[in-house]
Amino acid sequence: MTLVTPALANEDVTKNQANPNNWASQSGDYSATRYSTLDQINTSNVADLKVAWTFSTGVLRGHEGSPLVIGDVMYLHTPFPNIVFALDLKDEQKIIWKYEPKQDPSVIPVMCCDTVNRGLAYAEGKIILQQADTNIVALDAKTGKEIWKVANGNPKIGETATNVVLIAKDKVIAAISGAEFGVHGHATAYDLKTGKRVWRGYSVGPDDQILFDPEKTMSLGKPVGKDSSLKTWNGDQWKIGGGTTWGGWSYDPEANLVYYGSANPSTWNPSQRAGPDGKPIDQKWTMSIIARDVDTGVAAWAYQMTPFDEWDYDGVNENVLVDIDIEGKSTPAVVHFDRNGFAYTLNRKTGELLVAEKFDPAVNWASGVDMDKASPNYGRPIRVAKYSTFKDGQGADVNTQGICPAALGSKDMQPSSFSKLTGLFYVPTNHVCMDYEPFKVSYTAGQPYVGATLSMFPAPDSHGGMGNFIAWDAAKGKIVWSKPEQFSVWSGALTTAGGVAFYGTLEGYFKAVDQKDGKELFKFKTPSGIIGNAMTYTHGGKQYVAVLSGVGGWAGIGLAAGLTNPTDGLGAVGGYAGLKQYTNLGGTLTVFSLP
């Protein structure tokens, strides 16, 4: 396997990403591999890591994402209120500037699963922040002063923001959260210099709104056709249909395509989303990978992982771009570990489906994915009727038990990493199942539009824990090794040329394992549970590895928001009730180096 080589992109981003001393973007590179060529810290000495320095953010909620390092400066973000710090690495991490946006706290209860933020982006002397209230702000990287600011949505109708933006060419590409509030999801491009809107592509709706060309936009090798989304919805339901985007981005400069995933349809009660005949209907293009032209926003292809979702298996997870040898042929691929428990390998140029296999053996809602190209169900999951949550009518008398995975998926937004050393993917996973009871819900703008009660618990007949850290062969669709963890691994992975894979645990341990076999080489208990992403950089000739700790996110929402009812937090509070015995709230960056 090989990495994607940038050809046409934003030159400043490409230059900074190519310098391994930096950590220039949240995903490490445009391909979202989260791989570093640094090897000063390696399998032979990683056990000697010591804490070099720490920094408290002053915010006690879930800390996702990671800092950026550009040259001598580290840029650090927080959850709401989304403070940004610039730290001087050559002067004892002195605070160069601090930006603290003034946001209406009424946005907090509209945020689905904690007040997290997945990080900053950098290009051409600008730091780009997308705030919880959807405002996108361009800051002068030297001074922290606002250059431009634009609203990407409206919190009063449930639109919020948690994810990082992508900077590709001269554009800032952003998205919106809020499918649990019945918002109309979209991806939107703004001009990097001015903040002026360039294009907006919705996930669902008419062709001119979703920017799908009926003849040229492809799905599984065929044109999508006219009204590919509209004809899979009942009436105007698409207008409050969800399909938001809050996961990771990747970009292929050669194809000029940006890749991202769309989330669940609204509501979580599938019976309320049935077709005019009361039968299931796909609700395209929710739960899909979408590849769009960066300049125009027009979709080149799309693939729907979970048609007519019945379990909240959002398709937002990262799409990693690598070239994979499949049957002796090098293929430009995109690899996606979906919430639904299947790992997909597709041709990133055409959207052709190459591999689809379970990356957690506990997955039971579907037995597999139909890979027969001659089948009318090609590319669709083979569902197991026992685990359906759909019933004709309004579904009020449905209580489906033992569904695996739970709504938070076999993996949520916590990003995987691809190692150039081994050709394997290193994936943080959830090993969690659920009981699911839909109920009828009415839509009111700005109010929750969920319509289901969930209970979560560890997958049965396994190690008894709620997580695994695995190595995955994307060409074969096989787990190479799996390391059990007591709780879900809700931290983004990092791999390096030193042969090490780094990740954090919900209890707060920062760990290093051998990429070859998963052998644990190092662990350190940080001040709080880790849902942030491991990153690495060098300064003064020395390699550092760092991670944000601060328990929260969906899995840690009970601790973060002080919830105790087991079904609160969309079912997560009960499932992770034991977490409070191991960690507490925090907000700390911990930085490690060799002595």
Read off the DSSP letter of residue 515: T
CA distance 449 to 178: 10
What Cα–Cα distance (Å) separates residue 46 from each residue in 6, 196, 595?
31, 46, 11
Angle subtended at Cα 488 by Cα 486 and Cα 489, rounded to the nearest 5 degrees = 105
Q: Where are the beta strands (DSSP E) in 316-359?
A: 319-326, 329-337, 342-347, 353-358
Question: Would the CA dihedral through 411, 561, 530, 152 be positive or negative?
Answer: positive
Angle subtended at Cα 535 by Cα 71 and Cα 25, rounded to the nearest 5 degrees = 60
- Residues written for the chain: 595
- Spatial neighbors of 558 by CB under 8 A, at least 6 apart, are 564, 568, 569, 572, 573, 576, 577, 579, 580
- At 250, list the tokens: 């990747």
Q: Is 462 left (phi over 0), alpha (psi -120 to 50) or beta?
A: beta
Question: Would the CA dihedral through 349, 369, 290, 250 be positive or negative?
Answer: negative
CA distance 456 to 567: 8
CA distance 87 to 104: 27
CA distance 275 to 440: 16
Q: Are 481 and 27 in contact (CB under 8 A)?
A: no
CA distance 520 to 497: 17
Read off the DSSP letter of residue 388: -
DSSP class per residue in 536-549: EEEETTEEEEEEEE
Q: Where are the beta strands (DSSP E) in 152-252?
A: 166-168, 171-175, 186-191, 197-202, 218-219, 222-223, 250-252
Instruction: Please indicate whether residue 514 is annotated as part of the active site.
Output: no
Q: Are 333 and 323 in contact (CB under 8 A)?
A: yes
Q: Are 16 and 32 in contact (CB under 8 A)?
A: no
Q: In what order do the strands lie in the sheet with 467-473?
A: 417-418, 425-430, 467-473, 478-485
Candidate list 29, 133, 252, 312, residue with the active-site label = 312
Read off the DSSP letter of residue 474: T
* 263 HSE (CA, 13 A, CB side): 30
CA distance 291 to 297: 9
What Cα–Cα distance (Å) separates residue 208 from each residue in 199, 228, 238, 435?
11, 11, 14, 39
DSSP class per residue in 240-254: G-B----S--EEETT
Which positions are annotated as active-site residues?
A: 312
